[in-house]
Amino acid sequence: MASRKQPLFNFNILILFLFLEPLQVHSVCRNFCNNIPINYPFGIDDGCGTPQFRHMLNCSTDLFFITPSGNYKVQTIDYNKKTLVIFDPAMSTCSILQPHHDFVMTDIQSVTIPPSPDTIFVLMNCSIDSPVLNHYKSLCFNFAGHSCDELYGACTSFKLFHLLSNTTPPCCFTSYNTVKFMSMNILDCSHYTSVYNVDSLKGVGPLDWLYGIKLSYSVPDTGCERCAKSGGTCGFDVETEGMVCICSASNNATIQCGAGIGMNAGKSLRASSLLFESFLVLLLIFHVILL
Ligand SMILES: *[C@@H]1O[C@H](CO)[C@@H](O)[C@H](O)[C@H]1NC(C)=O
Ligand SMILES: *[C@@H]1O[C@H](CO)[C@@H](O)[C@H](O)[C@H]1NC(C)=O
Ligand SMILES: *[C@@H]1O[C@H](CO)[C@@H](O)[C@H](O)[C@H]1NC(C)=O
């Protein structure tokens, strides 16, 4: 009895192994998080994408962009325009009023993936002592003819500023640099929101603005194109952060998946290991039958 059980057990393990192995091929670099494609220079598995954006994305329930001030939901990534739109769930919008909260990026993020020039920050309900109403007045600009009055009058949430003060509390349309160099406490405005694609918002009311932060990224050319053309996925060595061209689950190259060497070697290696496993399985079946 006992000697009959053992090969059966091994047989199950082997079957499991056979099913798991093809999965490993895909698990090197996942290329989707929900419905958002994850391609170079980004990666959600360590060692994928460029090291410059390492630990910046988190694919838990959704795709999140990780910053020192919090995790922001990624709405879209446009690989042609090299932009990514994120949403701060704690900021105010036309439909919800939430107390201000700093938007902080790391120094590296500020340089490699800063908010795009067509993203603006709107500081609302500023106190009369706010630096942007006094010494730093010049940091506020005219945003396509839109006014604080229009803003406070247009949306259910912003109407509260009008109602509670019976006047039009000052607001300021400004750029990322302002919130980068001055914290919300220093700026002394009780609420903020952020709007992107502002170049097309002339004559468009606040109800139809696009709320969120558009980030614009750039990466130095490290030869990823060559790797991608050879059928590989660009990644990096997690220890040295040097570039790696991932050709298959069992094969990495330094520059590109060599024709007949990289990709194919990986494939034939896998094929032969499958053959070997099938042989083992057959052997086990015979073993079980014979017993
Ligand atoms: C290939 O590189 C990736 C990313 O660095 C790593 O996760 C994987 O273990 C490497 N595979 C091999 C076979 O070295
Ligand atoms: C990923 O983001 C979610 C949502 O903010 C958070 O709950 C989770 O802890 C994060 N995971 C990591 C590894 O940062
Ligand atoms: C506007 O700011 C003042 C402080 O300057 C604050 O007392 C007031 O509650 C704010 N208004 C709203 C609607 O939060």
Q: For ligand 3, which residues put their CB under 6 angstroms from it?
A: 125, 127, 160-161, 164, 169, 190
The reported pLDDT for the residue numbered 278 is: 52
Alpha carbon of 144 to ligand 2 centroid (Å)? 37
Alpha carbon of 65 to ligand 2 centroid (Å)? 10
| Parallel/antiparallel/unpaired status of strands 189-196 and 119-126 | antiparallel
Of 81, 79, 78, 53, the residue nearest 67 (C-alpha): 53
Give me the residues paired with residue 253 across strands.
Answer: 245
The reported pLDDT for the residue numbered 259 is: 52
Sequence-distant (≥ 6) Cβ neighbours of residue 220 within 8 angstroms:
none
Which DSSP symbol is given to 9?
A: H
For 38-69, write each residue's pLDDT tens digit: 999 999 999 999 999 999 999 998 999 999 99
- 154: burial class by Cβ within 10 Å (0-12, 13-18, 19+)? middle
Closest ligand 2 atom to the C-alpha of 70? Answer: 5
For 150-201, write each residue's pLDDT tens digit: 999 999 999 999 888 888 899 999 999 999 999 999 999 999 999 999 999 9
The reported pLDDT for the residue numbered 261 is: 45
The reported pLDDT for the residue numbered 76 is: 97
Q: Could you say which residues of the chain have pLDDT below 70?
A: 1-27, 259-291
Instruction: Quote the tokens at residue 151.
Output: 């803003």
Please name which ligand lies nearest the alpha carbon of 29: 1
Return the residue whose CA atom lies nearest to atom 11 of ligand 3. 161
Closest ligand 3 atom to the C-alpha of 188? Answer: 5
Of 80, 78, 38, 40, the residue nearest 58 (C-alpha): 38
Give the position of tokens 């309900």: 125
CA separation for the pair 58, 72 (Å, rounded)? 10
The answer to whether the Cα torsion of 190, 195, 201, 204 is positive or negative is negative
Counts for the chain of helices (H) and strands (E), in that order? 8, 14
| Parallel/antiparallel/unpaired status of strands 213-216 and 83-87 | antiparallel
Cα–Cα separations (whole angstroms), residue 148 to 120, 123, 176, 223: 14, 10, 19, 48
The reported pLDDT for the residue numbered 287 is: 58
The reported pLDDT for the residue numbered 41 is: 96
The reported pLDDT for the residue numbered 28 is: 85
The reported pLDDT for the residue numbered 276 is: 43
Return the residue whose CA atom lies nearest to atom 11 of ligand 2. 58
Instruction: Quote the tokens at residue 210.
Output: 């696009």
Alpha carbon of 203 to ligand 3 centroid (Å)? 28
- Tell me if 246 CB under 6 Å of ligand 1: yes
The reported pLDDT for the residue numbered 286 is: 52
Q: For ligand 2, which residues put their CB under 6 angstroms from it?
A: 58, 60, 64, 71
